[in-house]
A = this chain, B = another copy of it.
Amino acid sequence: TIGGYLIQRLLDLGVGHVFGVPGDYVLGFYKALEDSDLAVINTSDEQGAGFAADAYARFHGLGVCCITYCVGGLKVANTTAQAYAEKSPVVVISGAPGIGERQRNPLLHHKVRDFDTQLKVFEQLTEASAVLDNPQTAAREIDQVLATAVRTKRPVYIELPRDMVAKPVIVDPAPSAPEQAGSGADEAVLQAAVAEVVERINAAERPAIIAGVEVQRFRMQRDLMQLVEGSNLPVAATILSKSVVREDHPLYLGVYEGAMGRQEVTDYIEGSDCLILLGVFLSDVNLGIFTAHLDAGRVINATSERLSVGYHTYDQITLADILPALVEAGIAPRTLDAIPHPPTPPACFPVPDKPLTIRYLFERINQFLDDSTAVIADPGDAMFAGIDMTIHCASEFTSSGLLHLTGLCRARVYRRATGPARFTAVGPRWRRRVPNDRHGTGDSRPLWLTPIVVVLNNNGYGTERQMMDGTFNDIPDWRYSELPRVIGAGRSFNVFTEDELEDALLTSRDDTGSFCLIEVHLDPTDSSEALQRLTSTLAKRVR
């Protein structure tokens, strides 16, 4: 069947979990999902499913969210846009009215304007889309759309009318495997490009690499490290790609973010006479809101779309072509003078009753991290202050740096768990309570997740407050530490001082069986140095 084929192809591509919320236009497909080897994670809201699928895609290569028509689909417009902007391969599967129901254009529930309104919206936000309204072509369309997600690392959209789920599908006996990025370059062009890049690097006095987020998306960390270690070239990361290189690696410089970053990293990168950008997003927040000073004539810029060397481009050559080719070409290792390196986190000695500051908080969290900790940072100071933390293992710091979703200022320190489900965030499924059991017995059971969530409560939109303040930057004074009572599981801490933070962190670390929420109360005027530099630049654009 069409539904069964779609499920099988997702399994073939290594997907194990689907995030979503059911609705009547997608119920039949949900039943098929439940009967399959895919695990369905019900989130509390479609938006949560969209974000979970995005995180899943970043860590596992492909993510899926499955929702109903319009009332569900349009709630993931925003999360799909984030996946597009930051190159995260999310497959959005939406139910839809049956083809047989669409005769004479009736006004069905959940329909907005025309039957293709939702499709048209997602065409703006995805790299490919298909409406599976034809059993003759459905299998091929599924293959093509999924292949596009795998190849471009962008989201795609599949609409499945509900009367098509169980229709027999015409399957190509041997579907071609999704084309991997970088397999299409002309050998002569590639050789010319490699020769020029190698010559430039060898001729340079102080070459350096900036490794961007596409290295993570296209799973090329191993190639990157072979290049770095084979050539002894120092390497920096960006905000989006922080932790692409293990941050205690001796060749790691730190995060480059223009005037917003540590001065010695900025000086080293901007003083390089041959800068090799590998998969870097040239966006404003990622590169310090236009405070980056990179001389295009001295830049080699390889992305998933093309390669530029100085002022000319090789339109055919992508990051996936050039990076392995450079490893193979073998750049002669050079002897390095001393290079910048992230400072060792300062030791923290909590002072009883001393009110917490952003600076102390992040120094302490930094010290708290170990090889078993993954960090997911929300935008705001959670992300900006978080940039200076030292991540110990590869690819375990994740943030949303480009689309930069507005929310409360908060940081999340996720404990690593086995399996992918740790990224479903704070809405896991609990054991069902017996109806009309007034005592609730407290036996609800988290299935997978025991994250430590650190909420930075600074009473408002701190990033905006420093650009232009007004009552509109105040937010309701909620008690986030009470949320475990609503969820029915987990424990929480209210933290105002350094010693209270100490107690909360250590207790949370020991309590591995429980989701822990640490609400940190901060002065609304406090902020990290990175945020201050950012907002002073942004403020000029607001007025």
A residues contacting B by CB (< 8 A) are 21-24, 27-28, 30-31, 33-34, 40, 42, 44, 47, 68, 70-72, 74-75, 77-78, 81-82, 84-85, 98, 101, 106-113, 117, 120-121, 124-125, 162, 281-285, 290, 355, 401-406, 427-433, 435-436, 438, 440, 444, 458-459, 461, 463-464, 467-468, 470-480, 482-483, 485-488, 494, 496, 521-524, 538, 541-543
Contact A22 B464 (CB under 8 A): yes
Bound form: Cα–Cα A476–B433 in Å: 9
Contact of A459 with B435 in the complex, beta carbons under 8 Å: yes
CA distance A483 to B482 in the complex (A): 8
Cα of A82 to Cα of B71 in the assembled complex, Å:
8
A44's partner among B283, B427, B436, B476 (CB-CB below 8 A) is: B476
A107 touches B405 (CB 8 A): no
Query: Which residues of chain B are near A459, meaning CB under 8 Å?
Result: 432-433, 435
Cα distance, A430 to B84, chains bound together (Å)? 37
A542 surroundings in chain B (CB, below 8 A): 24, 27-28, 162
CB neighbours of A473 from chain B (8 A) = 22
Instruction: Report Cα–Cα, A256/B337, bound state, in Å.
Output: 84
Top 7 closest A-B pairs, CB basis?
A107-B283, A74-B78, A482-B485, A109-B285, A77-B77, A81-B112, A27-B468
Q: Are A486 and B478 in contact (CB-based, < 8 A)?
A: yes
Contacts of A440 in B (CB 8 A): 479
Contact of A470 among B24, B30, B284, B471 (CB under 8 A): B30
CA distance A496 to B436 in the complex (A): 6
B residues within 8 A CB of A404? 71, 109-110
Q: Which residues of B contact A483 (CB under 8 A)?
A: 486
Of the listed residues A85, A117, A521, the one surrounded by the most CB atoms of chain B closer than 10 A to its CB is: A85
Whether B124 pairs with A117 at a CB distance below 8 angstroms is: yes
Contact A521:B436 (CB < 8 A) given known A34-B471, A72-B406, A121-B77 = yes
A266 to chain B, nearest CB (A): 20
Give chain B nearest CB distance to A291 CB in angstroms: 13
Of the A-B pairs whose beta carbons lie under 8 Å apart in the complex, a sample of 6, sorted by A's number, is A40-B471, A71-B405, A427-B476, A438-B521, A479-B486, A482-B485
Q: Kindly list chain B residues whose C-beta atoms are within 8 Å of the C-beta of A107.
A: 281-284, 402
Q: How far is the CB of A495 from chain B (nearest CB, A)?
A: 10
From B28, B428, B431, B541, give the contact of A98 (CB < 8 A): B541
Q: Is the interface of A mostly helix, strand, loop or mixed?
A: loop
Report the minimum CB–CB distance from A166 to chain B (whole Å): 8
Bound-state Cα–Cα, A402 to B108, Å: 8
Contact A472 B42 (CB under 8 A): yes
**Residues of chain B contacted by A117 (CB below 8 angstroms):** 81, 124-125
CB-defined contacts of A108 to chain B, threshold 8 Å = 283-284
Within 8 Å by CB of A124, from B121, B285, B474, lies B121
The 8 Å CB contact of A77, one of B40, B44, B74, is B74
Once the chains bind, are A428 and B24 in contact (CB under 8 Å)?
no
Chain B positions within 8 Å of A467 at CB level: 24, 27
Q: How far is the CA of A488 from the CA of B481 in the complex (A)?
A: 11
The chain B residue sitting closest to A481, CB to CB, is: B486
**In whole angstroms, what is the CA distance A461 to B75 when docked?**
18
**What's the Cα separation between A467 and B461 when bound, in Å?**
44
CB–CB B432/A477 < 8 A:
yes
Give me 17 other A-B pairs in contact (C-beta within 8 A), A22-B473, A109-B283, A435-B521 excluded.
A24-B467, A27-B467, A27-B542, A42-B472, A42-B475, A68-B406, A112-B403, A117-B125, A120-B124, A429-B474, A431-B477, A435-B458, A436-B496, A478-B486, A479-B486, A483-B486, A485-B486
A471 to chain B, nearest CB (A): 6
CA A467 to CA B22, docked complex, whole Å: 12
Return A22 CB to nearest CB of chain B, in Å: 5
Contact A113 B101 (CB under 8 A): no
Chain B's nearest CB lies how many Å from the CB of A457?
9
Q: How far is the CA of A477 from the CA of B33 in the complex (A)?
A: 23
For residue A487, which residues in chain B have a CB less than 8 angstroms away from its CB? 476, 478-479
